[in-house]
Structure 1
């Protein structure tokens, strides 16, 4: 059975470094045997169909291929349509009432516990808020991610070694659900 996935690449095409042209990424992924490869924006989203593997093995396969082809390591998270749709459906914030720049999802390579964030003084960051989901962290930042003090506090070092985290705005979250719909 073929499953449709989204691959989320962390930290590419930002500030002129770690360039991964989307046309080259599509060619590379097609060469791996993935079907219907499409990309979204230049910031590291690709949608593909595949009949073999699971999310973790596909992420490892793609990360290895990217490093071999482009010469640098890239963290990759792969999620199927059902998971992406569940993330959107289970958003704890009123997504339909917010601007896309105010709502973000950080996709995580593994589950995290609330304990990891227990020392954060949530009241000190209001009106910004975050909530944990299943391998996802939802962030409401009313002034956008670039100005968010809470986003800075929640930054990658907090996630720890061996855990990949990559953030997308709500427009991208919704678009990936649409693109992976069979």
Structure 2
């Protein structure tokens, strides 16, 4: 068995793509996924599967949700080692004392040609960021809600991304460790 972390994008946000976690858990269990655990309503799931690669499994999950709930969610599947590496690579360790200010934007692929100039122009004076092949780290001490950098990072990176604050990343790591 392999452990996977599913990061769903845009479910249960703003009254759109409503999918209660109990139904999501049931949907995943119907796909023979084991030890399915969810965290908060925004689509964070840890589970075990015999699948060895992410893309076919993600497509199968998205297709099942579309058939049962009428919308096809985007999701990223990452392995526990990838999550641990992201945490270890955090360039802003001092920001973990305010976990809602530190965000990990997990990337679907390495950004081939990020628009650095546009990222810098969107960055406020209090914000800091760093790009790796798999994560865009953002420290936004004034909040992510007003951040032009957060709102436009995906566009300027040129790859699909899904964001989680440090508290969520830390909880997912604990869920994986407790399994």
Q: Tell me whether the two structures share a fold, i.e. TM-score over 0.5.
A: yes
- CA–CA distance in 1 between the matches of 2:142 and 2:103? 12
Asked whether the 8 Å contact 1:6–1:48 carries over to 2, the reply is: yes
Name the structure 2 match of 1:13. 12
1:68 deviates by 1.2
Name the structure 2 match of 1:60. 59
Task: Show structure 1 runs of 4+ deviating over 4 A.
Answer: none
- CA–CA distance in 2 between the matches of 1:36 and 1:121? 39
Q: Is 75-84 or 120-129 further displaced after alignment?
A: 120-129
Is 2:117 the counterpart of 1:119?
yes
Q: Relative to 1, partners in 2 of residues 1:32 and 1:66: Cα closer, same or farther, differing over 3 Å?
A: same
Name the structure 1 match of 2:171. 175
Structure-1-length-normalised TM-score: 0.89
Name the structure 2 match of 1:165. 161
Task: Name the count of aligned residue pairs.
Answer: 177
Give the aligned CA root-mean-square deviation in angstroms: 1.8
Structure 2 stretches lacking a partner, 5+ long = none
1:127 deviates by 1.9
1:66 deviates by 1.1
Structure 1 stretches lacking a partner, 5+ long = none
- CA–CA distance in 1 between the matches of 2:157 and 2:68? 28
Asked whether the 8 Å contact 1:29–1:37 carries over to 2, the reply is: yes
Structure-2-length-normalised TM-score: 0.91
